Structure formats: structure tokens, C-alpha cells
Amino acid sequence: MLFQETADYYNRLEGISSRLEMIDVLTELFKKTKKNEIRNTIYMTTGLLAPPFAGVDIGIAEKLAEEAIATATGSEKQKVEESFKKTGDLGKTAEQFIANTKLRRMSKEKFEINEVFETLHKIATTSGEGSKDAKIKMLANLLAASSPLEARYIVRFALGQLRLGAGDATILEALSKAETGERTFKARLEEAYNICSDLGLVGETLMKEGTKGVEDFRVTLFNPIRPALAERLPTAEEILERMHGKAAVESKYDGLRAQVHVDKKNKKVEIFSRRLERLTEMFPEIVNAALKEINAQSAIIEGEAIAYDEATKQFHPFQETIQRKRKHGVEEKSQELPLHLFAFDILYLNGESYLKKRYEERRKTLERIVKGDGTIRFSDMIIATKPKEMERYFEEMVEDGLEGIVAKDLDAPYIAGARKFSWIKMKRSYKGELSDTVDLVIVGYYVGKGIRAEFGFGGLLAAVYNEKTDMYETITRIGTGFSEENMKMFKKTLEKIKSGKKPARVSSIVEPDYWVEPKYVVTVRADEITKSPMHTAGRHAEGEEEVGYALRFPRIVSNGIREDKSADEATTTKEIIEMFKQQRKTKVGEEA
């Protein structure tokens, strides 16, 4: 397929404000794409060169792209910079300069999508001495042989700013429709995606092997499994009722969730975050421990990596643990702030998937194959059959400085990539506030007035994620809790992903000064959840057409963006509705 055709589809997607229309356009695109192109087409459409865990980042800076545009069109770099200041979009600038260049197009032959993808991949993986000049030359050659529209999307992609708004669920739905004519096979595609975390591989398998190939998908070592997620309930009684009177209750650690893949035969270990990013080089002590302390030929175990003081038996705060997520000075920091992995699950052992096995069996297996007294420990756990047992344990954990507890259904399988009541968290509450924080997706921002106008930032428009519709529904505007440093950081970060129109997957009545691509997550605390005609979170739930949910007195908890969570891992609409119901129960109880 010619990249020009792909660019035409991208142009159509840009003008769409409906998710259903987006699915239809993507379905058309996937139907036209050849079997040997579908994988790269999916990666490109989602703004990637490979699945997240592969760690391939194109890494083109704006200045480098400006030089490439100038070289490709025989223009002065200063003129490219001036145009960029006016458009605010280097892709649009590239389009204009390619359209107006007097240089003859380098080649009359048009690019196939695989050729464009492979060139961009080569640019991303070129390193070492002279790599900057080599990158500029490759990108300039690509642009010089492109049409204006192709240039727009090549530059945007190279900068990591493609911004088509197609989420994972939307891609899977379009793939289902393209292959089967219906959207219903999306559920099975999602199951395959949840155990391989590679949308391109899922699409390629579907197009090459049909639905049977997708149904035969298996867990593979070094392809991270999308993590299981916990629901939330406020009381031990409700948790035990959900779990039929008996539950495993684990400590909830405030660390970095880590999935550890081990291949003893080849002496290979890989560690992945909850966002499926590769963390292996950052945690050398866990890599060494995995080879020494796990008694298995191959395994995938899951746990929480956290800084722990062996002498005082105290856990360090999350702010200190997150410092270990770095690319430089790793050895020094690992000596200064060593991590322990508190393992809580096993997902794969010696070639066999453990996802469908009962939690009780998985935990026993984990305790059998891991020593448990070194760098890798077991998460603390009790079996509770009475609310008072769970409450006592909860209080002990909070007293020890932990977040709370996670109760697990002893009979439940591991449900990859989904939030179910087989895991339920209960976290410490704060007087006069919601019993838990919420993680919200930034969908817009405000310029601000008065002193804030100096920073070009006045606050955020934030949303929750609706899993059923694959949409982001607004729930609050956040205007408090920002330091000057915060305001500068948010302005700089959000300016790069701002949009002239509302993204197709955002549902909002409120209009911010600037819309942004739903990409970044922030943690927010509020006094309570209220009903609101201004916001769309839960607006159409339970027959309530005109009223949504909102947060009262919201404020940012930490100093910035949550790097360990993707937009689709934000608090869900369903969770907000449940929290609202529990809040009302609590109030009735207080009044009584």
C-alpha cells in the first residue's frame, strides 16, 4: 500500500469527531492494507515503531526536524523556524515547505508504507558518533521524495506527535470489523492483546491466520502480560461478601509494579513496568536476584519493587522509590537506595501459562519456587474469613506506612488487562476527603489570569476513562495545588500535544482554552463526588441523561504527571459511580 494512501486516511481521521466514524475509517484502511504491511501500519497509526516494551523511541528533536525540512526544500532554517512559530505544528510547516519548494522531487517513485516505516525505524536506531547528521540526512531524503501530505505525517510521527486519537480498543474493534464484518470479535482480540501486549502482532496474526490464529494465542516469555487491576470497596464486610466469606489479604505496597521474566538457560532477565516499559537496566539487583533466587528454568513473576531499609524494616516513600527509574547513574543509585521485589503472583512457569489457575495455587507455586529471604521477598498475606480480621490487618499495614490492602479471591484466575472484583483494594481514608485518590487523564488546559498568565497555564480539564465506550469523560477542572514549577512543567509538556479541536475520544460539554491528546495521568484528591450538569462522566449511566459526576474541591496530590500509568489505566467511570454510591452510604451511616 502506498504511504500516500495511508496519509489520506490519516487526514480523514484528523477531521473526525466521532469514535464510531473513526472505527469505520480504520476498518477501510485495514481492509486495504496488505498482510505483510498490517503490523507496521498498526504501529504507525498508534504513533509507535514497535510495542512499548521494545523500547524503540524515534527521539527526533524539533531542531533536528527543522534542519531536515530546510535541507529537503533548499530553504533557510530560520524561515522554517519562523513558520513553525506561526503554525505551532511542525508537520504543517513541513507540508507547506514541501508544497512550495522549487527543488525537483528527488524520485518519481512513490513510497510503500513499509519503506517509510523502515526508514523511520533506521533513524530511531542510528546512534553513536555522527548519528545526528545521519538522522537529518535520512529524514531530509524521505521528505524530499514525499508529497506535502505525506511530509505532514512523517514529521509529526518523527516528533512523536501523530495525534490521531486511535486508542487500543478502537484499533481492535476496527480489526475485528475488517476481518469478520462485525465488531464482536474484538473481545477475543483483546484477550490475545492482554497476553502479548503487542497490537501489531495481534493484527498480523488475525490477517495472516484468521480468527483461529488469534484463538490459539499463548503466553510468550519476554512479551509482557498486561497487568490485572483491582476494583475498590470501602469496607471489609463488602469485600468478604463479594468473595463468598473468604479471601487472601495482601499488603498494598506504594512502589513500582514490576513483571519479571526469567530464562535461566539463556541467563536472560527482563523487567517490565505496569505501563509495559522495559526497566531491566534500571534494576540490576532484581535482575541478579531473579537468576539466583528463582528456582525454575523459566518463569514470569509479578511484584512491587520498593526501596526498603533492611536495618529499620521501614519502606521508603514512593517519591524516593521512583528515583530508581533512571537511565544514568544506575549503579550508584542502586547502592544508595537498594530495591526489594515483593512478589505476589506467578503467571508462567517452565513453558506453562498459569493465568487460568486459581489464585491459591499460583501463590503456593510462587512460594515453592522463590527463596523469599533475599532481594525477592513475598508480599505479606493473611487469609481472612471475618471482617474484624481484615480490619485489624488493614490497620497494621497503614501503621507500617503502607497504602492499605488488596483482597484476592482464592478461586479466581489471573485476569490480564482488566479490572475485576477478583482483586479488591481498600486504602487508608482521610477525614473530610474521599476515601481514595483518583487518577485522571488530562484532556485540556487553561491559560490562566493574573499572575498565572505569566506562565501561560491556569489549570487542567481532567477526565475518567469509560471502558465500555473507550471514551474519556470529563469530571473536573483543577485549578489548585500547582507550584510555579508545576505550572511551567505542565505548560511545556501540554503545549507539545495541544490540539485545535476536541479529540474524537473525548466526551465534554466544557470547553478548555486548549484541548490536548489524552495521554498524561495525574493523581487528584477531592472532598467528595457530586452530581453535575457540566461534566460527562457517567452522564448516560443508569438512565441519567442530563447529569454527570464531578469532583468537589479537587487538587493535585503529587507534583507532576504519573509516569507509571497510561491514559487507559486511569480511574474509570464505573469506579466513580461506585465511589459515589459508597460515599452516600457513608453519609447516611454518619447521620444515623
In the block, residue with C-alpha cell 505496569 = 274
Using one digit for the tens of pLDDT, what is the confidence trace for 210-225?
999 999 999 999 999 9
Beta bridge partners of 252: 404
Q: How confident is the model at residue 592 (pLDDT cuts 50, 70, 90)?
A: very low
pLDDT per position as a tens digit, 272-292? 999 899 999 999 999 999 999
Looking at the domain assignment, is residue 406 inside a domain?
yes
Q: How many helices (H) and strands (E) does the chain have?
A: 20, 22
Nearest to 7 by CA among 137, 119, 116: 116
> What is the arrangement of strands in the sheet containing 419-427, beginning at the earlier edge strand?
229-232, 419-427, 404-408, 247-252, 381-384
Output the pLDDT for position 451. Answer: 63
The predicted pLDDT at position 547 comes to 86
* Residues 420, 469 within the same domain: no
Percent of the chain scoring above 90 in pLDDT: 70
CA–CA distance, 512 with 499 (Å, rounded to integer): 11
Residue 591 predicted with pLDDT over 50: no
- The verdict on 403 and 485 lying in the same domain is no
User: Cα dihedral sign for 400, 406, 407, 409?
Assistant: negative
Burial grade of 76 (CB within 10 A; 0-12, 13-18, 19 or more): exposed
Which of 102-111, 454-463, 509-518 shows the lowest per-residue confidence on average (mean pLDDT)? 102-111
Where in 234-393 does DSSP place strands (E)? 247-252, 256-263, 268-273, 298-309, 314-315, 339-349, 352-353, 376-378, 381-384
Nearest-5° angle of CA 111, CA 116, CA 121? 160
Is the pLDDT at 457 greater than 70? The verdict is yes
pLDDT in tens, 383-425: 999 999 999 999 998 888 788 899 999 999 999 998 889 999 9
Q: Residue 238: pLDDT above 70?
A: yes
Return the pLDDT at 431: 41
pLDDT of residue 80: 95
Q: Are residues 335 and 281 in the same domain?
A: yes
Residues 422 and 442 in one domain: no
Stretch 64-78: mean pLDDT: 95
Q: Is residue 485 a part of any domain in this protein?
A: yes
CATH code where residue 290 lies: 3.30.470.30
> Which cell numbers hold the place of 310?
533492611
At 108 the pLDDT is 65
* Active site members: 252
CB 350 within 8 A of CB 297: yes
Closest CA to 29 of 178, 187, 213, 219: 178
Could you report the per-residue pLDDT of 147-175, keeping only the tens digit for each?
999 999 999 999 988 889 899 999 999 99
Domain contains 483: yes
State whether 359 and 466 are in the same domain.
no
122/255 same-domain check: no
For position 3, what pLDDT does the model report? 97
Number of domains in the chain: 3
Residues 252 and 371 in one domain: yes
Percent of the chain whose pLDDT exceeds 70: 94
Q: Is residue 503 domain-shared with residue 403, that is, in the same domain? A: no
Q: Which three cell numbers stand for residue 386?
A: 471475618
Mean pLDDT of 376-385: 96
pLDDT for the residue 105:
65
Query: 398 and 490: one domain?
Result: no
The residue among 159, 191, 207 that closes a domain is 159
Q: Give the range among 109-113, 205-209, 584-588 with minimum mean pLDDT.
A: 584-588
Q: What is the structure's pLDDT at 18?
A: 87
The whole-number pLDDT of residue 480 equals 81
pLDDT of residue 545: 60
CB neighbours of 42 closer than 8 A, spacing ≥ 6? 171, 199, 200, 203
Q: What is the mean pLDDT of residues 32-45?
A: 97
The answer to whether 201 and 51 are in contact (CB under 8 A) is: yes
Beta bridge partners of 551: 529
**Residue 224 falls within a domain, yes or no?**
no
Last residue of a domain, one of 159, 177, 210: 159
| Residues facing 532 on adjacent strands | 548
pLDDT at 590: 46
**Mean pLDDT along residues 23-37:** 97
Which SS3 state, helix, strand or coil, does residue 527 take? coil
> Residue range 560-567: average pLDDT?
85
* Pair 370, 404: CB distance under 8 Å: no
Which of the two residues, 541 and 227, has the higher pLDDT score?
A: 227
pLDDT at 402: 83
Q: Which burial class, exposed, middle or buried, applies to 572 when counting CB atoms under 10 A from its CB (0-12, 13-18, 19+)?
A: buried
Instruction: Note the pLDDT tens digit of each residue in 296-325.
Output: 999 999 999 998 877 667 787 777 788 788
Q: What is the domain-level CATH number for residue 562?
A: 2.40.50.140
Its domain, for residue 484, covers 438-591
With respect to residue 240, please indicate whether it lies within any of the assigned structural domains.
yes
Does 569 fall in a domain? yes
Residue 34, domain CATH: 1.10.3260.10
The residue ranking higher by pLDDT, 488 or 24, is 24
- 102-106, 285-289, 570-574: least confident range: 102-106
Per-residue pLDDT at 435 exceeds 90? no
Q: Identify the band that residue 207 occupies on the pLDDT scale cut at 50, 70 and 90.
A: very high
- pLDDT, tens digit, 9 for 90 and up, residues 118-144: 999 999 999 999 999 999 999 999 999
For 303-345, the three-class secondary structure string (H helix, E strand, C coil) is: EEEEEEECCCCEECCHHHHHHHCCCCCHHHHHHHCCEEEEEEE
In the block, residue with C-alpha cell 513453558: 351
Number of other residues whose CB lies within 10 A of the CB of residue 392: 14
Size of the chain, expressed as the number of residues it contains: 592
Mean pLDDT (the chain) is: 90
Are 382 and 476 in a shared domain? no
Residues 369 and 482 in one domain: no
Instruction: State the pLDDT at residue 265.
Output: 95
Query: Is 586 found in the same domain as 452?
Result: yes
**pLDDT value at 453 more than 80:** no
Mean pLDDT across the stretch 468-473?
Answer: 92
Over 70: is that where the pLDDT of 552 sits? yes
CA distance 262 to 156: 37
Whole-model pTM over 0.85: yes
Query: Is the model more confident about 323 or about 201?
Result: 201
Query: Which one of 159, 183, 201 terminates a domain?
Result: 159
Tens of pLDDT, residue by residue over 473-515, are 999 999 887 888 888 899 999 988 888 789 989 999 999 999 9
Distance CA 307, CA 391 (A): 26
Residue 374 falls inside a structural domain: yes
For residue 174, being part of any structural domain is answered with no
